[in-house]
């Protein structure tokens, strides 16, 4: 198991896995983000592994124009508890490796000239 040392933990395992699909004018995708657990800044806390999923769908009516709707942290997973003191905030999670925002939505429109 990884240990918090120096500026932060060195994760034993982390990955991002993405699957994208498109057909004609439509597109969609799913992304999984994982970070393994580690022994925290102050014993005896163990920070658990953390997985989040993101999803998006979109429409490209013509070349250079698109509208994308997405959801980050699809399952609304809370960040694992951490008692780190390396950052000015210590709200119970390490904001360098996880987000306390929970499920968030976004809409993006682009047009290339």
pLDDT of residue 32: 98
Residue 10 has pLDDT above 70, yes or no: yes
Residues 23-63: tens digit of each pLDDT: 999 999 999 999 999 988 777 888 899 999 999 999 999 99
Q: Pseudo-torsion of CA 68, 72, 74, 79, nearest 10°?
A: 180
β-pairing verdict for 65-72 and 14-23: unpaired
pTM of the model: 0.84
Domain ranges of the chain: 2-111
pLDDT, tens digit, 9 for 90 and up, residues 63-89: 999 999 999 999 999 999 888 777 766
């Amino acid at each position: 198991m990884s240990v918090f040392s120096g500026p932060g933990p060195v994760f034993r395992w982390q990955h991002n896995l993405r699957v994208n699909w498109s057909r004609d004018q439509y597109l969609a995708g799913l992304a999984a983000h994982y970070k393994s657990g580690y022994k925290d800044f102050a014993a005896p806390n163990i920070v658990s592994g953390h997985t989040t999923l993101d999803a998006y769908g979109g429409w490209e009516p013509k070349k250079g124009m698109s509208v994308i709707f997405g959801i980050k942290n699809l399952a609304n997973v809370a960040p694992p508890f951490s008692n780190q003191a390396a950052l000015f905030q210590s709200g119970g999670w390490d904001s360098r490796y996880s987000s306390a925002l929970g499920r968030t939505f976004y809409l993006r429109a682009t047009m290339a000239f």
